[in-house]
Amino acid sequence: MKAPKVLEHIKPAHIECSKEEIAPIVVMPGDPLRAKYIAENFLSDAKLVSDTRNMFIFTGMYKNVRVTVMGSGMGMPSMSIYAFELFYFFGVEKIVRVGTCGGLVKELNVPDLVVVTSSYTEGNFAYSYNGDPTHVAYPSIELKNTILKTAQELNYTVQTGTVMTTEQFGFYSDNEHVLSRVPKNIRVIAEEMEAFALFHIASSFDKQASCILTVVDSKFSDVFMSPEDREKSLNASITLALESIIK
């Protein structure tokens, strides 16, 4: 199914800049301050092009390739707003989400990298968005494979698998009753809150999207990455995303 129709006179309500100020490739962390960190530490000639609602958007150069980095906010509703506007109004072709997740299997440890191969949600985001009853969404095969190949080139060890995109923060809910409802034929290895919406919206526009996550906590461990480390200590996933998206 394709993207919903938008009235011709409608303009983007959450991003205020010209179409030319946003590059066709976007690296998208959840935290706008992490977007600022990426711009300041990984891009050259970075310019703040929009700060509506303090959702910072920077465009600059990475290895002579023009790249935009912006926050998505937390949860599928916030991700869906920004992903839709980027694809529909600004002509973006690729988005790579760089985010965090909680490990749900013993094999994942803090701070492992996860390249997402699919996302499961028990919610009805897809049905609300464009009438699609699916509960599983997939990244773009080409972009996902590029990330996996780039990880090998960088000598990065990455895990792959299905993540569960939840509608609440796992620590603030009865996580086990949510996990007990996952279909038996789906093995989720981690939980996060945005990937499903990104993948589904990208697919509706025939655009590319993928997701790289850093494990910041685990149901099998007391290790928990601090908010400060989440903002500034995810350099491996950021590097992997930038090196992959420019190819």
**DSSP letter, residue 121:** -
Q: Write the secondary structure of 73-92 as one string of H (helix), E (strand) and C (coil).
A: CCCHHHHHHHHHHHHHHHCC
**CA 219 to mean position of chain CA atoms:** 22
- Which of 51, 132, 174, 217 is the catalytic position? 217
The rounded distance, in Å, linking the Cα atoms of 53 and 85 is 15
The rounded distance, in Å, linking the Cα atoms of 202 and 103 is 25
Q: Are 108 and 217 a contacting pair, CB within 8 Å?
A: no
* Residue 45 annotated among the catalytic residues of the structure: no
**Can you give the length of the chain in residues?**
247
Q: Residues with catalytic annotation?
A: 217
